[in-house]
Amino acid sequence: MASLSPIIVWFRRDLRLADNPALFEAAQSGRPVVPVYLWEDDAPRPLGSAARWWLHHSLKALSRQLAALGVPLLLRQGRAIEELPRLAAEIGADTVLWNRRTAPREAALDTAVTRALVALGLRVESFNAGLLFEPGAVRTRSGQPFQVFTPFWRACLALPEPARPLPAPAALTGMTGLSGDAVDEWRLLPATPDWAKGIGAVWTPGEDAARARLCDFIEEGLTRYTLRRDHPDQDGTSRLSGHLAFGEIGPRQVWHAARRAGAEPADGFLRELGWREFSHHTLAFSPDFAEQPQRREFRDFPWTEDAGQWAAFIAGRTGYPIVDAGMRALWDTGWMHNRVRMIAASFLVKDLLIPWQRGEEWFWDTLIDADSAANAAGWQWVAGCGLDSAPYFRIFNPVVQGEKFDPRGRYVRRWLPELAGLSDQFIHRPWEASPEQLRAAGVSLGRSYPHPIIDHGSARRRALQAYSALRGTGAA
């Protein structure tokens, strides 16, 4: 009977039970539910290495949660446009539900899958689970997408508050006897060498860990967020980005949890959630957001490609401690503090004149929270080529930034132990220490720690000259 036909719930970056509209709708029907995750052969952008590690453990966690409700998570590999119709025919399903992907290339794939399923007589329905507001719901007065964050966020705050999160299903009815893959077969984890040990020591993927992290932050960190968020030596950020990237927790859950704490402590934090929203809304209307500058004049920018400097940058061997600390933290833990991301990005694109796309690709591969929208938005903001970005002539001085946001050098000492013996005075500028001071600290410049690979002052002048030439002004 049609009324007893199973419902397929297609999981993607919504690896949670609570506030999962597709799963909630399926549970409310009272019909058998078949949750499936597809390793998509035709994914527009394959996951990076660190994100693959996270996905492995997140799928394990989701599988345990569903198993506790008596429903197995079915894992299969292939093209969704082939695998979903095949699965529907195999189990006699007449309905397929999923939560929407708003990135244009993923959305185009979903549209093609929808057409294929509807042509076979199946009902398809999708839901918003990954954003506070639908991209089309936040527009300028002329009906166009916003290009600047502040008026965008003001318009969001004028809309009705995001819907309250949906509860996780209390029970589900599943099907047995279905054949699928084991997540280990997908070989998402590194083998030899196992470079993910540091990531595993810091992060616990899964919905339970996401919820615990959110609760801890609301109770312990929210009231001090605006004071501490820019200081990498302090635990001042929410550290929810990886959980949000994989949908182990949803933005509506974060929004309402913060709001319950009161408007005053929540506003600054929610503004950062708004930046995530703005990034995704921008990507929804800009298919090439991750590859091309939104300000078209930057397509002719005179970038350089210095292989030696690039190698020093990704290895954390530039000679600028705050940059190097951030890059080593990224490699070891799969995450970098947001302030340090801006400092490192500025150094790459403005001191070294290496294209921001190279940095974006490296972050895509090494970040556990790799997200096409947020990643591109961050890099374009720093590079000055986004629609709403820092002016290109805003060039971070890595020494000044280090001294301002890591004044005691605790962050640098953690990630650059070879500099740990230096005093606070020289921790961010070791080349200014005397030979005696370096020797007393056990530092040998050029051996245990490199000399700066470029002079910041000269690099700044070169960057401004390149920008002036781009604009045709002929003057820095």
* C-alpha dist (Å) from residue 455 to 104, 310, 340: 41, 16, 19
Q: Which residues, in sequence order, are CB contacts of 387 under 8 Å at separation 6+?
A: 147, 148, 282, 294, 295
pLDDT in tens, 112-122: 999 999 999 99
Q: Mean pLDDT over all residues of the chain?
A: 95
Higher pLDDT, 475 or 464: 464
Question: How many other CB atoms are there within 10 angstroms of residue 301's CB atom?
Answer: 20
**pLDDT exceeds 90 at position 472:** no
In this predicted structure, what is the pLDDT of residue 186? 97
**Cβ count within 10 A of residue 117:** 22
The model's pLDDT over 126-145, given as tens digits with 9 standing for 90+, comes to: 999 999 999 989 999 999 99
Whether pLDDT at 474 is above 60:
no
pLDDT at residue number 3: 60
Q: Is the pLDDT of residue 273 over 90?
A: yes
Catalytically annotated residues: 272, 275, 303, 338, 356, 379
Percent of the chain with pLDDT over 90: 91
Average pLDDT over residues 96-117: 96
pLDDT of residue 358 exceeding 60, the answer is yes
Residue 123 has pLDDT above 70, yes or no: yes
Whether 271 contacts 153, CB under 8 Å: yes
Residue 191, pLDDT score = 86
What is the average per-residue pLDDT within 278-296? 92
Predicted confidence at residue 471, as pLDDT, reads 75
**For the chain, which domains are there?**
2-129 (3.40.50.620), 130-164+204-285 (1.25.40.80), 296-468 (1.10.579.10)
Beta bridge partners of residue 74, listed in sequence order: 36
**What pTM was computed for the model?**
0.96
| Confidence check: pLDDT of 61 > 70 | yes
> Which has the closest alpha carbon to 230: 402, 429, 408?
402
